Amino acid sequence: MLRIFEFLYKIRTFLLFVLLEFLAVWMIVSNNSPQGAAFFNSSNAWAGKALEKQSEVVQFFSLAEANASLNSENALLKQKLLRHQAQPDSLPLQIDSLLEVRYKFIGARVIANSLRLSQNYITLNKGEKDGVKPGMGVFNSQGVVGRIKSVSENYAVAFSLLNTSLMLSAKIKTSDVFGSIQWNGTTSSEAQLLYVPRHVKVSKGDTILTSGFNAVFPEGILIGQISEVAVNQKDPNYLALTVQLSTDFSRLTYVYLVENPAFQELDSLQNQSILTND
Amino acid sequence: MTSRNIISYSFLILTLVVVQLLFLKNLAVFGQAFGFLYLLGLLVLPRTLRTIPLMVLAFFLGLCIDVFFQTLGMHTAAATCFAFFKHIWLKISSPSGSYEESEELTLSQIGFVRYVSFALPLLFLHSLVFFVADHWGTGTFISVVSKSFFSSVFTFFLTILVQLLFFKRKRGIL
């Protein structure tokens, strides 16, 4: 027995090494599941505050740009609003669930962002207090940005679209064929559109939008344009489509969060009937 | 280690962490080379600091970086690995007796050639562990190796730059 203890004492450094590595790997694994280890995220108060201060300094230099993009978006929205303002009409219009406003929007500022890793995350300055919930979609005026992963009181962490574990439901605008957008971890301006069958006619420059099938994003938010069409080498039944992302991830400043209040209902209904839409 | 040493090392590590968090966070040269400058703190600690305390220090240092970088566990694993192999590699890479126990492992103390053979493989190991963890199951072997290689070389140059600019010659740090 003493021998064993002596032996263990001799290799104590190695044992500690194994233990610490095990802890680290456990952290990596649990962090990559959406629910786990929310505490250590930069959504925790201290890290969040520090990152916010840093981003305040950095973003001061891009204020003009942010202003311009907000301004142009405002103009666009004004124009759309004008179209929707009801004209006095003799025809009474029944409001039904089809016309109901289904989505809620929250504005937020990006305080930390990475793009060079293969699992990239974005930290936002809005949290539980402001009504942010895990699973909400994130986009900006350019296009889709990502999806909320975990939330603390004042901050939230989102999967960037540049995260190899995130998949979004997308469709091709011209043909309405849908597939899944996933990033393959190489270029920060390109993603892959998967599961588009080979018989579909696709050409370079086709616009890719969110499909609205998974109820995270409203239908029709821009994702990007097809930049390359090829046949999938691994599975010849599908096309390998490369999409030039419309969002410039290196200059994210302001984003919108979108929530579908009916998401729970839809999701549970689809689960009940064992439908899967991704 | 004297208490003065402890204070100056703590100051060095703290400064490196702040620099890492504020300036090197989003820096990736050509999208390939990352700078992990905080490793300089672990690198120059003298041999009198044994592997176990060094490893614990590395663990928490890595954790601290991870919390800010949204890479939970990756820097922790890599830095711990780095600390574990530091003394082993020192023993292998140097002829016996060529290092004094209390010697600081800085560029000016051990000379350029020994510094290269000591630091570069360790930095490469750290980058390799980090990118393997990052690319797990998704990336290709080539991209892991090329990122690790360029990152370790870039980090190596950063450590030399910092030492030339801010370390006093022959008189330890600061």
**Contact residues, chain A, for B61 at CB < 8 Å:** none
Q: What is the pLDDT of residues A41-78, one digit of tens each?
A: 556 677 777 778 878 787 787 788 788 788 778 877 87
What is the average per-residue pLDDT within B13-24? 87
Closest CA to A245 of A142, A157, A166, A149: A142
Q: Is a pLDDT exceeding 70 seen at residue A96?
A: no
Q: Is a pLDDT exceeding 70 seen at residue B98?
A: no
Chains A, B: CB contacts within 8 A come to: 99
Q: What is the pLDDT of residues A218-230, one digit of tens each?
A: 888 899 999 988 8
Which structural domain range is residue B126 located in? 3-50+85-166
Exposure string over B20-31, b if 16+ CB within 10 A, otherwise e:
bbeebbeebeee
Which structural domain range is residue A28 located in? 2-32
Bridge partner residues of A157 (DSSP): A123, A150
- Contact residues for B78 (Cβ-Cβ < 8 A; gap 6+): B62, B126, B127, B129, B130, B133
Q: What is the ipTM of this complex?
A: 0.78
CB B52 within 8 A of CB A16: yes
A31 vs A38, residue with greater confidence: A31
A226: domain CATH number is: 2.40.10.350
Closest Cβ–Cβ partner in B59, B69, B136 for A114: B69
Could you tell me if A41 lies within 8 Å of chain B, comparing CB atoms? yes
Inside any domain, residue B128: yes
Mutate to test the interface with B, among A15, A116, A189, A251 (most CBs of B within 10 A): A116
Could you tell me if A163 lies within 8 Å of chain B, comparing CB atoms? no
Inside any domain, residue A91: no
What is the average per-residue pLDDT within A192-206? 88
Can you give the three-state secondary structure of chain A, one letter per residue?
CHHHHHHHHHCHHHHHHHHHHHHHHHHHHHHHCCCCCHHHCCCCHHHHHHHHHHHHHHHHCCHHHHHHHHHHHHHHHHHHHHHHCCCCCCCCCCCCCCCCCCCEEEEEEEEEECCCCCEEEEEECCCHHHCCCCCCEEECCCCEEEEEEEECCCCEEEEEEEECCCEEEEEECCCCCEEEEECCCCCCCEEEEEEEECCCCCCCCCEEEECCCCCCCCCCCEEEEEEEEEECCCCCCEEEEEEEECCCHHHCCEEEEEECCCHHHHHHHHHHCCCCCC
Distances (CA, A) of A190 to A104, A208, A221: 28, 12, 17
CB A246 within 8 A of CB A225: yes
Could you tell me if A23 lies within 8 Å of chain B, comparing CB atoms? yes
CB B47 within 8 A of CB B99: yes
Inside any domain, residue A214: yes
**Contact residues, chain B, for A37 at CB < 8 Å:** 72
Inside any domain, residue A202: yes
Rounded CA Rg of chain A: 23
Can you give the three-state secondary structure of chain B, one letter per residue?
CCHHHHHHHHHHHHHHHHHHHHCCCCCEECCCEECCCCHHHHHHCCCCCCHHHHHHHHHHHHHHHHHHHCCCCHHHHHHHHHHHHHHHHHHHHCCCCCCCCCCCCCHHHHCHHHHHHHHHHHHHHHHHHHHHHHCCCCCCHHHHHHHHHHHHHHHHHHHHHHHHHHCCCCCCCC
Inside any domain, residue B63: no
Inside any domain, residue A268: no
Q: Is a pLDDT exceeding 50 seen at residue A37?
A: no
A35 vs A45, residue with greater confidence: A45
Q: Look at residue B169 in the predicted model and tell me its pLDDT.
A: 60
Inside any domain, residue B111: yes
CB B76 within 8 A of CB B62: yes
Could you tell me if A110 lies within 8 Å of chain B, comparing CB atoms? no
Residue B33 Cα to chain centre, angstroms: 15
Rounded-to-integer distance, Cα A232 and Cα B92, Å: 48
User: Are B77 and A28 inside 8 Å of each other by CB?
Assistant: yes
Rounded to a whole number, what is the distance in Å from the CA of B169 to chain A's nearest CA?
Answer: 33
Inside any domain, residue B32: yes
Closest Cβ–Cβ partner in B67, B70, B135 for A114: B70
The chain-wide mean pLDDT, for chain B, equals 83
CA angle, corner A38, sides to A189 and A108, nearest 5?
50
Inside any domain, residue B117: yes
Inside any domain, residue A196: yes
Inside any domain, residue A217: yes
How many domains does the structure of chain A reveal? 2
Q: Look at residue B117 in the predicted model and tell me its pLDDT.
A: 86
User: Are B134 and A42 inside 8 Å of each other by CB?
Assistant: no
A49 vs A23, residue with greater confidence: A23
Closest CA to A216 of A150, A275, A277, A271: A277
Inside any domain, residue B119: yes
B169: left (phi over 0), alpha (psi -120 to 50) or beta: beta
CB A255 within 8 A of CB A124: yes
Hey, CA dihedral for A13, A18, A23, A25, is it positive or negative?
Answer: positive
Q: What is the pLDDT of residues B22-73, one digit of tens each?
A: 887 777 777 788 888 999 988 888 878 888 889 999 999 998 888 888 778 8
How many domains does the structure of chain B reveal? 1
Q: What is the pLDDT of residues A114-168, one digit of tens each?
A: 887 888 889 888 888 888 888 889 988 888 999 998 888 888 889 999 988 888 8
Inside any domain, residue A179: yes
Q: What percent of chain A has pLDDT over 70?
A: 86
Return the residue of A nearest to B56 by Cα: A20
